Structure 1
Amino acid sequence: MIGFFPKLYKDETLYSWLARYHIRSNNSSYKSTLSDLFMKDTIVAITDFPCNLQTLCTEIGDMYKPRYLINQHTPLPYYSPFIKRGNYEKIIDLMESTNKNRVYAVLGLPAGNVPYPRHLRYCATCFIEDVNQYGEPYWHRIHQIPGVHICPHHLEILSESSVLSKRTVSNQKFHALSESINSPIHRNNLYSDKENEVLEVVALNSLKLLQEEINPIGLPNLRNYYISKLHDKELMTATSRIKFQELLPRFINFYGKNTLKLFGSNLNIDDKDTWLHRLLRKPKSSCHPIRHILFNTFLGDDIFSYKNINIKTPYYQPFGDSPFPCLNRASEHFLKDVISTVNITICSSTKQPVGTFKCNCGFVFSRRGPDLSKEDRYKVGSVKQFGEVWLEKVEELYNDGLNYSEIARQLKSNRATIKKYLFNENQKMKQHSNDYKHKSYKAKWSNLIVRNPDLSRTKLREQLPSVYMWLYRNDREWLLTNMPPKQKGCNKDINKVSWETRDYELAKKIELEAESLKKINNDGIVRVTVRSIGRELGVISMLENEIEKLPECKLMLAKVTETLKDFQLRRIKFRAKNLRDMGIEITPSKLIRNSALSTKIDGDILNSIEEEIYTPKN
């Protein structure tokens, strides 16, 4: 254990503290100093994140605790708000217990980021004040922070020493400021007024980060905080998409390109993947604190805003917080907050947000936002889908005897909508019925074939005629696939038809049938035609389609069939005889009407009518 050890000065780096001890120890080599401090001489002198601090604290008699040294005399508080939560404790553990310098890897800062100072720096005025107060100068923690170019206490440009940063050259030497600088040098301020203004803001905010010791906020929470601020600046769309095409020019104009170069944070308007994009997109890695300071300043806030970030800092929410109420009047949870999410799109005409809410009951509705009052939360703009619960309620009310208008009034809908959905449900029921019939008929037909494997198609059809016809009309393809094969004729020796014999025999039948038709003396008088003869003989198709094979029949038909005029003359005589038999006086109009003659009557018909009028009664 070391018997004497100097006290730490305010905001002094641990590197500076150990360098002052080396001077007081009168050790002949730095390795001896390392052995005193860390019980081994292989430790590397590190300016920012030294490790093996638990051993150091033990060797100096627990004069300080490791966590105190880390929070008050290393740059970790500067980084801690912007790193992943789990990594903070890992870094503490690395600095307390190990001698492996892996802190920067755990910090998660990308390579090639904000440049680290190549040399240790000091403020000339601080140098003089420290000598006056403590009798010696020392390395200040705030002066070594990347991106800090001026002293936040005196607003003076920092001067560089000849001592290289231990992040650039690895060695075991501790260089005290008193040994490195004999007389402090005041640097001239060559920056513009605008650049100086930004340099001051960055330096002061960096100092506050070191002093406030803000715990890790969490990368998602940081992003949510920034998104909410961008909404305030109207740099977000209603669907929470960042307007980078507007943000980049405004951000660059706010600082100026030369100022951004001072912090290694150059931006180009046309770039699609800048550090600013990575800062605001879903976080995958940490971003350097200097860039958080720059962006937060652009938003109009300072470091203290990070202390007040609510862990649940929300996005811009045009429809308020979830859960949202279900507005389905047919549901048991009507007006209850049961909808967990809302899908936000943009109205093409007004460019306002449109929220679509989908409930588990199947009810889907939307409205145009943003909601400006509590009452807006319970408004429906349009219904996208009613759902099964609503449809069941409509059917229930309809079955209870309510008409369309009464149902619409209860469900705050309109009559046409109720009518449409009830009609659709009826159609579905019919379709369901048809589906059931289809399935049932197919089963019946299949069973019939299984039970009667030897029956022909005709015989099967005779067994289930209605089933056959329904399947033939509605599923012909299936029916034909599930029919037995056609049976070929078994009698191949059937005599061919003798058309000559058939012609002779049929001609006689035609003559007799024609005479028979003319002898009908009831009210059903029939004109003798090819069809009337064929109908009585059952040979209509033959007389119409095969007449060229039946020359005798053709001649006989020409002989016995009546023209329309012949038939009218015969009918006049027939009707006149009926009137005379009934003792009714025959007049022209009465005979024309009873004979069903048209108004256009030729001379032969008129002569026949006159003859019948003047024919004496028997």
Structure 2
Amino acid sequence: MINFPFLFPDEILYSNLARYHRDSGSENHKQTVDDLFGDRNVCAALLFPSHLAALCRNIPIGSKLTPEELIANHTFFPYYAPFLSHEKNLGLEEIMILDKGASVYMHLGKPASTLKAEENLKYCPNCVVQDRETYGEAYWHRSHQAEGVFICHYHNNVLIRSNVSHAKQRNKHVFISLESILEDTVGHQQILIQPHSFEIIDYIAKQTYILLNYRFEPLGLENINQFYVMKLQRMGLSNHSGRIRWADVIPAFTQFFGKELLMSLQSYIAPSQEATWLHKLLRKPRVTCHPLRHLLVLKFLGETVESTYNGICHDKLSFEPFGKGPWPCLNKAAKHYNDSIIQSCEVTRDSKTGKPVGTFSCSCGFVYSRKGPDQTMEDRFRVGRVKKFGEEWSEKLRVIAQEDIPLRGMARILGCDPKTVVNNLTNKDIIAVTKIENQHEIMVYRERWNGLKKKNSHASVTELRRLDQAGYTWLYRHDRKWLTENTPIKKYEAIQKERVNWKERDVELAKEVKNTADAILNEKHTKLIRVTKTEIGKRMGKLPLLFNMLHKLPETSNQLDNVLESIDEFQSRRIEIRALESMKTNTVIKHWELVRASGLKVEFIGSHRELLNGLSVK
């Protein structure tokens, strides 16, 4: 080869080889392939070209290009590398360097992927102008060809989808340069995107460019999965043990991106779907997943490729809802108050909210807990509930109880409620002081309540409570007997419960069961459905009624007994219907054809042999 063209920044290797073909003056693409690779059967692969060692040998003497440099800077290997295992990365490099190109997509698992590759090459009109000014000609940019990239990461304008297809069989040995198609742009279409999704599309374009150019090492499938689960835990979408709340994750994911955008990215997940790409990505990793879908998950989690890489490399993979220990002792009575000396934190799950609950036990006997996860540093010094005060706290209480300190002052010293102080005191004199101190406060609250009643003479106790919640609560805790005697009399409104006429409902349901069963029997679908109680209940929208209240519906129960099909009855009906269908096109029905059309399993053929023999011939 002579005059092999210089590779431009962000140029995909396909583009460089297309420019070589154009400049060589050859009209035979297979001859160009033979000149480049020494083999006329090598395909013009866009994303993962192979035979790169042969290409570098054929490049003119003096060139310093190596297969490794081509792979890193001008193929899609770096796009996939962080999300593959180390072994798969080595295998993929070997395939591209040697002559094993046919196995590259099988190696990546792309044939089984529901996300199909872009068929047509894309370009940015602004890049065309800029490249012509800088390099003298336009070329195909590598970062524009990835799935889900609809805008230029540099110019932020929408890409144009050309009429050049690299996926069609007739083009598999053809290299087409960008300049050669710009004279006639018939068939070129600007990609349509919704304005409200521009921010997400921009994120995908920029993160794709970063993946292609920053040369990230493989992150490890297990590490990526742990990172994702940890982020979900912080968002409250997974519990502290790592169990993902799918009923919350799927709707939140769909709402975040919008159904229309996810469908355009071939990544929409219907609410009823199971074992989807998102399930496979967030559960224990067994298969690889397309980088675009990793980017969608990262965007949902509020992360980038760089932050994920840094998080995994710095071992930030474990979810610690209360941070790392040691944790502070919050016993105000202790000398080590606020000192971080607690070494262990027991994490449990709140049964109502599902949030983690941390229990902290200090050597001084003080035990406290709080709900997490902690959001700020101040949360580390927050007590949710004190489970045990401990001996040191009790000793401090006994000491200050002998001093001339009011009840509320004692409570402030000990970091608790005044009532807690009273409940823990045993000294009769202190209790007496407390009662005398409270007497004045009681009179103030009583007058406050009576004044409220007088101003709102027609209000109920609930309405009064709303007007003065604090006053009602104080009286309820300290003077409950008086409060009960001085609240308005409750006025109950008699509510007549609507009673169900089960006899009338039974008659109606029995008719509805019969009609639903007839409808199932008369359906002319390719797949026949057996008449069962569950199927009837689902179609009627009254499944719980048929299973839980049938003892009150005797006529409905009898009707169900009449219309339900056993497995044998259903199989016989299937055989007869398939036989009738076959008779419309065939005068003679063969035994094996009828068995296959009826979908009978081997173990059931014997029990229906007589019917099969009567409707078919061997």
Q: TM-score, normalised by structure 2?
A: 0.52
Q: Is the 8 A contact 2:81 2:217 kept in 1?
A: yes
Q: What is the aligned partner in structure 1 of residue 197 from structure 2?
A: 195
1:182 aligns with 2:155: no
State how far apart, in whole Å, the 2-side matches of 1:270 and 1:227 are: 22
Could you tell me which runs of 5 or more consecutive residues in structure 2 were left unpaired when the two chains were aligned: 326-342, 360-368, 389-618
State how far apart, in whole Å, the 1-side matches of 2:192 and 2:120 are: 20
> How many pairs are equivalent?
358
Q: What is the aligned partner in structure 2 of residue 163 from structure 1?
A: 164
Deviation digits for residues 144-186 of structure 1 (CA, Å, limit 9, x no counterpart): 1111112222222222222212476562121111222215588
Q: Is the 8 A contact 1:221 1:313 kept in 2?
A: no
Q: Is the 8 A contact 2:355 2:371 kept in 1?
A: yes
Q: What is the aligned partner in structure 1 of residue 255 from structure 2?
A: 253
Q: What is the aligned partner in structure 1 of residue 23 from structure 2?
A: 24
Q: What is the aligned partner in structure 2 of residue 298 from structure 1?
A: 300
State how far apart, in whole Å, the 1-side matches of 2:168 and 2:180 are: 20
State how far apart, in whole Å, the 2-side matches of 1:102 and 1:195 are: 36
Q: What is the aligned partner in structure 1 of residue 83 from structure 2?
A: 82
Q: Is the 8 A contact 1:147 1:290 kept in 2?
A: yes
Q: Is the 8 A contact 1:239 1:345 kept in 2?
A: no
State how far apart, in whole Å, the 1-side matches of 2:215 and 2:249 are: 30
SS at structure 2 position matched to 1:163: strand
Q: Is the 8 A contact 1:347 1:368 kept in 2?
A: no
Deviation digits for residues 451-498 of structure 1 (CA, Å, limit 9, x no counterpart): xxxxxxxxxxxxxxxxxxxxxxxxxxxxxxxxxxxxxxxxxxxxxxxx
Q: Is the 8 A contact 2:12 2:75 kept in 1?
A: yes
Aligned 1:124-139 pairs, distance under 5 A: 124-139=125-140
SS at structure 2 position matched to 1:137: coil
Return the letter of the residue paired with 1:196. F
Deviation digits for residues 85-136 of structure 1 (CA, Å, limit 9, x no counterpart): 2101111111111243211222234624222111112112222222232222
Q: Is the 8 A contact 2:43 2:172 kept in 1?
A: yes
Q: What is the aligned partner in structure 2 of residue 489 from structure 1?
A: none
1:65 aligns with 2:62: no
Q: Is the 8 A contact 1:123 1:157 kept in 2?
A: yes
Q: Is the 8 A contact 2:227 2:317 kept in 1?
A: yes
State how far apart, in whole Å, the 1-side matches of 2:306 and 2:42 are: 37
Aligned 1:8-407 pairs, distance under 5 A: 8-60=7-59, 61=61, 62-109=63-110, 111-166=112-167, 171-182=172-183, 190-311=192-313, 312-318=315-321, 346=349, 348=351, 351=354, 353=356
Q: 1:161 to 1:345 in 2, by over 3 A?
A: same
Q: Is the 8 A contact 2:160 2:190 kept in 1?
A: no
Q: 1:151 to 1:354 in 2, by over 3 A?
A: closer
Q: What is the aligned partner in structure 1 of residue 607 from structure 2?
A: none
Return the letter of the residue paired with 2:297. F
Q: What is the aligned partner in structure 2 of residue 591 from structure 1?
A: none
Q: 1:167 to 1:151 in 2, by over 3 A?
A: farther
Q: Percent identity of the aligned residues?
A: 35
Could you tell me which runs of 5 or more consecutive residues in structure 1 were left unpaired when the two chains were aligned: 323-337, 357-366, 382-618
State how far apart, in whole Å, the 1-side matches of 2:91 and 2:179 are: 34
State how far apart, in whole Å, the 2-side matches of 1:125 and 1:163 are: 19
SS at structure 2 position matched to 1:157: coil
State how far apart, in whole Å, the 1-side matches of 2:128 and 2:89 are: 33
CA RMSD in angstroms, aligned pairs only: 3.6
Q: Is the 8 A contact 2:92 2:104 kept in 1?
A: yes
Q: Is the 8 A contact 2:105 2:111 kept in 1?
A: no
Q: 1:221 to 1:26 in 2, by over 3 A?
A: same
State how far apart, in whole Å, the 1-side matches of 2:317 and 2:42 are: 46
Return the letter of the residue paired with 2:319. Y
Q: 1:252 to 1:26 in 2, by over 3 A?
A: same
State how far apart, in whole Å, the 2-side matches of 1:235 and 1:351 are: 10
Deviation digits for residues 60-95 of structure 1 (CA, Å, limit 9, x no counterpart): 134311111111111111111111221011111111
Q: Is the 8 A contact 1:120 1:162 kept in 2?
A: yes
SS at structure 2 position matched to 1:308: helix
Q: Is the 8 A contact 1:319 1:369 kept in 2?
A: no
Deviation digits for residues 230-288 of structure 1 (CA, Å, limit 9, x no counterpart): 12211111322111111111111111100111110011223232221111000111111
State how far apart, in whole Å, the 1-side matches of 2:300 and 2:355 are: 26
Q: Tell me which moved more, 165-174 or 55-64.
A: 165-174
State how far apart, in whole Å, the 1-side matches of 2:354 and 2:18 are: 64
State how far apart, in whole Å, the 1-side matches of 2:292 and 2:86 are: 19
Aligned 1:560-599 pairs, distance under 5 A: none
Q: 1:110 to 1:238 in 2, by over 3 A?
A: farther
Q: Is the 8 A contact 1:118 1:168 kept in 2?
A: no
Q: 1:261 to 1:352 in 2, by over 3 A?
A: closer
Q: Is the 8 A contact 2:358 2:371 kept in 1?
A: yes
Aligned 1:407-556 pairs, distance under 5 A: none
State how far apart, in whole Å, the 1-side matches of 2:207 and 2:157 are: 16
Q: Is the 8 A contact 2:118 2:147 kept in 1?
A: yes
Return the letter of the residue paired with 1:113. T
| Structure with max Cα Rg | 1
Q: 1:44 to 1:190 in 2, by over 3 A?
A: closer
Q: 1:368 to 1:126 in 2, by over 3 A?
A: closer
Q: Is the 8 A contact 2:84 2:220 kept in 1?
A: yes
Q: Is the 8 A contact 2:11 2:140 kept in 1?
A: yes
Q: Is the 8 A contact 2:122 2:159 kept in 1?
A: yes
Q: 1:22 to 1:83 in 2, by over 3 A?
A: same
Q: Is the 8 A contact 1:50 1:101 kept in 2?
A: no
State how far apart, in whole Å, the 2-side matches of 1:35 and 1:121 are: 27
Q: 1:380 to 1:239 in 2, by over 3 A?
A: farther
SS at structure 2 position matched to 1:162: strand
Q: Is the 8 A contact 1:82 1:218 kept in 2?
A: yes
State how far apart, in whole Å, the 2-side matches of 1:189 and 1:116 are: 16
Q: 1:188 to 1:103 in 2, by over 3 A?
A: closer
State how far apart, in whole Å, the 2-side matches of 1:275 and 1:168 are: 29
State how far apart, in whole Å, the 1-side matches of 2:357 and 2:198 are: 45
Return the letter of the residue paired with 1:295. V
Q: Is the 8 A contact 2:123 2:141 kept in 1?
A: yes
State how far apart, in whole Å, the 2-side matches of 1:287 and 1:103 are: 15
SS at structure 1 position matched to 2:122: strand
State how far apart, in whole Å, the 1-side matches of 2:169 and 2:117 are: 9
Q: Is the 8 A contact 1:345 1:353 kept in 2?
A: yes
Q: Tell me which moved more, 259-268 or 31-40.
A: 31-40
Deviation at 1:227, TM superposition (A): 1.2
Q: 1:212 to 1:176 in 2, by over 3 A?
A: same
Deviation at 1:352, TM superposition (A): 5.6
Q: Is the 8 A contact 1:161 1:181 kept in 2?
A: no
Deviation digits for residues 328-368 of structure 1 (CA, Å, limit 9, x no counterpart): xxxxxxxxxx99xx997635478565799xxxxxxxxxx99
